[in-house]
Amino acid sequence: MSALVLSGKELASAIRADVAERASALAAAGVPPRLVVVVATADEASAWYVRSIAKAAGKVGIVCDVVDLGPDATAEVIRGRLGELSADPAVHGVILQTPLPEGCSVEELAGDIAFEKDVDGANPLSLGRLAAGLPAFAPATAEAVVRLLEHHEVELAGRHVAVVGRSTVVGKPAAHLLLDRNATVTVCHSRTRDLAAVTSTADVVVAAVGRAGLITAAHVAAGAVVVDVGTNPTADGGLVGDVDVASVDHKAGAVTPVPGGVGPVTTALLLQHTVQAASH
């Protein structure tokens, strides 16, 4: 028997429909929701991603401005702009796109995004508030993991979830969101001894490392649910996740696809956060 495919498309579509309705109401009330993406790179993949966000925003009635500071922007210039946008009442959501110019740390710079507008949860204050149980926007990718599991009615309370990857944007915030859902959470990483021994005891495995094919049948318990956060470019211009689908397919109970799993939910949540920020 093959693993179930836990698509993110239906959930993303439902979120976008909700966002479109709220954006329309906000616009009618004189508050057109506005998202600003600050870019300081000439990276092509980044430019593609920003265009895809802008397009998705436009479709649901969110204005999306791209502020391109150029690949030579200094930390001071970037911080200054983030501060201005944070103070601008016509702006509701602010995203600082990566990569950044050399020497700039997204964690440091994102501290200048007001946490109320930090729709991708990049400000360390957002992460800390999340961990402390205070209102804050989670990084959209981390939240997409949990929302996708909830959408497919995967029980989390009391179950053991192994998160593979300890990044500030996915692994760590996902761990906090899962703890908040009463899961028992293990965070694994590159230094974990015998990764397969740890992950194969879990009811749910979240792969967020960025290494194609890392998670094989040896890493998952029979019937486990596998969430694939990886987006690794292939030589032919495609995209694959961190999960070796051919390997896990006959052992896992369910797997999220790449593309079409966490990705579309992530984009939809960025837009949902923006209308939430505009509603305050």
Residues that bind a second copy (CB under 8 A): 105, 107-108, 123-134, 157-160, 166, 168, 172, 175-176, 179, 182, 184-189, 191-193, 198, 201
184 annotated to a ligand binding site: no
Residues in the chain: 280
22 vs 176, beta carbon nearer a second copy: 176
Nearer to a second copy, 60 or 225 (CB): 225
Q: Within 13 Å and on the Cβ side, how many CA atoms surround 250?
A: 2
Instruction: Give strand pairing partners of 93.
Output: 35
Annotated binding residue at 267?
no
**Shortest separation between residue 115's beta carbon and a second copy, angstroms:** 9
Q: Are 118 and 94 in contact (CB under 8 A)?
A: yes
Are 30 and 280 within 8 A, CB to CB? no
Q: Which is nearer to a second copy, 63 or 187 (CB)?
A: 187
* Residue 69: CB minimum distance to a second copy, A: 22
Q: What's the closest the beta carbon of residue 116 comes to a second copy, in angstroms?
A: 13
Q: How far is the CB of 67 from a second copy (least distance, A)?
A: 23
Task: Give the CA-trace dihedral at 138, 143, 146, 151, to 10 degrees.
Answer: 130
Is 231 marked as a binding-site residue?
A: yes
CB of 31 to a second copy, least distance (A): 26
| Alpha-helical regions (H) of the chain | 9-28, 44-59, 75-87, 106-109, 124-131, 140-151, 171-180, 195-199, 245-248, 262-278
DSSP annotation string for 187-227: EE-TT-TTHHHHHTT-SEEEE-S--TT-B-GGGS-TT-EEE
The answer to whether 106 and 167 have CB atoms below 8 angstroms apart is: no
Q: Which is nearer to a second copy, 16 or 176 (CB)?
A: 176
Of the pair 45, 222, the CB lying nearest a second copy is at 222
Is 46 marked as a binding-site residue? no
Shortest Å, Cβ 43 to a second copy: 22
Task: Give the β-pairing of 63-68 and 93-96.
Answer: unpaired
- Closer to a second copy by CB, 11 or 206: give it: 206
| SS3 label, residue 230 | coil
Alpha carbons 104 and 21: distance in angstroms, whole number = 38
Sequence ranges of the binding site for NADP(+): 165-167, 231
Q: Please enumerate, by residue number, every residue annotated as part of a binding site.
A: 165-167, 231
